[in-house]
Structure 1
Amino acid sequence: MDKVLLCGNEAIAQGALEAGCRAATSYPGTPASEIMNYLIKSKSDDFYAEWSNNEKVALEICFGVSTMKQRSICSMKANGFNLCVDSLMSLRKKGLTGGLVLAVVDDPDVRYSDVFQDTREFMKSIGFAIIEPKTVKECLEMTKQAFDLSEEKKRPVFIRITNKIGHLYSPIKIGKRKAPTNPEFDKTPYKFNPYSKEKEEIIPYFCPGCPHESFYKNFSVLEDYIVNGDIGCYEIAGFGNNGKDDKPIREIIDTLFVMGSGLNVSQGQLICNQKSVAFIGDSTFWHSGINGLINACYNKHNIILIIMDNSCVAMTGQHPVPDLSIEKVCEDLGCDVQIVNPYKKEEVEKALNKAVAFSDKINVIISRSCCMLKLKKCNTK
C-alpha cells in the first residue's frame, strides 16, 4: 500500500484502528484534537467514535467498553488529563479486560495551555505503563503495541507525546485493520469493583428502614442486563458477601468505579450492544453524574438511569444537597422520567418494565424517599 502523509496525532489514530479498536472518545483540546478528527471520520459498523462532553466522561465510557473485552482509546490534552486522575486511581486495585489506551499530548512550549505540565509525573504516580513515541512512525506502531500491553497487564497504558511530535508530518505506510473480537462481559464476581469487601470480616449493610434497601428488594435484576453502580450508600449492593452474614442485595452491582462513573460505563457497554442499568445517588448526580447524562442525551445513548434520591449526602452524615429539581433537569434534557416510592414493589416493577419496553429513549427512574437518619435528626430537634 502507498504511504500516506500523517501527523503524529493521526498516526496514533491509525494505529488504534489497525489494532482493532472498538471505540474512541475525546473532548476537543489542542494539541490533541487531530486524533479524534481522524477517528470520527472512520466510524463504521464495528468502530464507534464520539466527542464526549468532558474528559472524565470520555474515559469512563472507555471503561464500559473495556468491561466488554473490547479495545478503546481515549485522547486528550494535558489539562484534560487532570480531570481523569480520580477515575484512573480506581483501576489500581482491580483491572480491565479489553485493552484501553489513554493518549495524552503535552504542550512543553505552553502554546496551547496556560501552564506547562509534564503528565508523566502524574502517570508515574498512578503506576501504569507509559509509552513515548519519538517519531511519527513510532506513534502508529507503538499504539498497536500499547493495546497488547494493556491486555497483558489488565490496566490502561499511556501514550504520551508532545505537540511537536503530534503536529509533525511524515509519510506513513497504512496497514490493515484487525477485526474486533465479539463483546463479552466477564462475570467473575467483583471483577470490576475495587470497593468490594468479600474478603473482610465485617461487611457493612443498610441502616434499618433505608429506602435504598427497599428499592433493591423490589428491584428484579433484568435478564441479560449489567448493573453499574456508583458512590454512595447504595453502593452497598456491590460490597459482596464473605460467607458469614450473606445477603443477596450485596451482590446486585456488577461494576463500581468512582463518583459519576456508572452511567458513563453504561454508555460504553451500550456501544458494544450490551444492555445495562446504571445507579446513581441524588448528590452524586449533582456532583458529576449530570455531565454523563448530558453526554448520553447529546450522543444518543439510550441508557436506563436509576437515581436514588434520599434528599441528602447520607454516607457522610446527612449533609445537604442542592435544592433543585432533578426531574426538571432530566425532562429538559429530553429524558423520560418516572418517580417511584421505593417501598412500593408495584411502582418499582411498573417503572422498570416501562423503561425496558421503551428503549428508544433515555429512561430515568427516580427512587425518592428521605434517608431515615435524616428524618430521625429532624424529629429530635
Structure 2
Amino acid sequence: MTKKYSIKDVAKLSKVSVATVSRVINNNGRFSEETRQRVLDAIAELNYEQNKLAVSLRKNKSNTIGILVPDITNEFYSAVVKKCEQNLFAAGFSSIVCNTERSLSREQNYLKVLSEHMVDGLIIISANDHAEESLSIRVPVVYIDRNPHLKDEFIITSDHYTGAQKATEFLIKRHYSPFIITTKTNSSATVERIKGFKDTLFNYNIIDSAQERVIQLNMTSDQYLLENKELDSFISSIKPQLTERRIGVFAINDYIAFMVARAAIKQGLSIPDELSIIGFDDAPVSLISTPSISTVQQDTGTLAQRACRLITKQLTSTNTKLTKRIELIPVKLILRSSTPK
C-alpha cells in the first residue's frame, strides 16, 4: 500500500515550517522563490496530495455543487442533470447528485448530507415547491422548473404556460375538442401548463365546462407502463362523441401522452383522425411511440447552462447584490404523427 504523506512530511523534507508549506500551496503570504521550489520539489518527491476535506474546512469552500433531482430515471431530468454536471465541471466545480424520488422527507435528508459535505451551492430541480420552507443550507440556490414561492430566489424555467397555450391552440384551430390529462403531481410546471390550457379555452370561448376538461389521473409519470383504469374509462367515455366531434388531448408530459395513445389504440380509436395527442418535454418515448407523439420541446441545454452560469456567478462575483429573478426559456411545438399535418 502506498504511504500517505502529510503536510508535516513535506515541511520536514523541504526544511521549512508547516505554515510556509501552506503559504506555498495556497500561493499567499511571503516566501522566496528558492523556498517555493524546495517545497514543490518535496511535494513531487513524496507525491503529496492535500486532504480535500481539510482544505474545505480551512477555506470554508469545497468547489462542489449539490444537485437535487426528483426522478433520475426521467429522461428530461437526467438530460438536465447531465448537462449541469458538464457545465459545472468546465467551470471547475464537482457535483453531488441526489435523487429525491419526489419525497419531501428524502429531500430534507439529502440537504443534511449536502450540508455535511460543505457544498458551496445548490441546484434544485422541480418536484415539491414548498420544500424550501425548511431549507437548512445557507448557500446560494438556483431552481430549475420550480418556484418555491419565497421572498426572492433565482429561478430558471421553461415557459410552460406558453407551451400549453401553443398545444391547446393547435388542437382548437384544427377543430378538435380539447382535454388535458394530468397526474397527481402538483409542481409549479404542472400548474402553469394547466393554467395555459384553461386560459386558451377561455380565449376561444370554450368556457362551459373548462374544469370538466381537466382529467387528473391518480398516478405519477414513472408508472406510465402500467394500465390505468381511469384513463381507460376516459377513452371509453369519449368514443360515443366521435361521431359528432374529434377529440384532442394535451397530455401533461410525453409519458402520459404515450399512455393515452396506447389506451386509445387498444380501444380501436384512430390517431390522429379521431383523437389527436400532444405531449410535453420531447422525451425519447415521444419518438419511439407508435404513432410518434407531437410534443412541446424544452431546451434542456439552455436550462442547464443558464442555471450553472447563475450559481457560479453567485459564488465568484464580487457583486453581492445580484438581482433575484425568474428567467423563462422559450419552448417549441414539435409536430409528429399523433396530430394532423
TM-score between the two structures when normalised by the length of structure 2: 0.29
Structure of larger gyration radius:
2
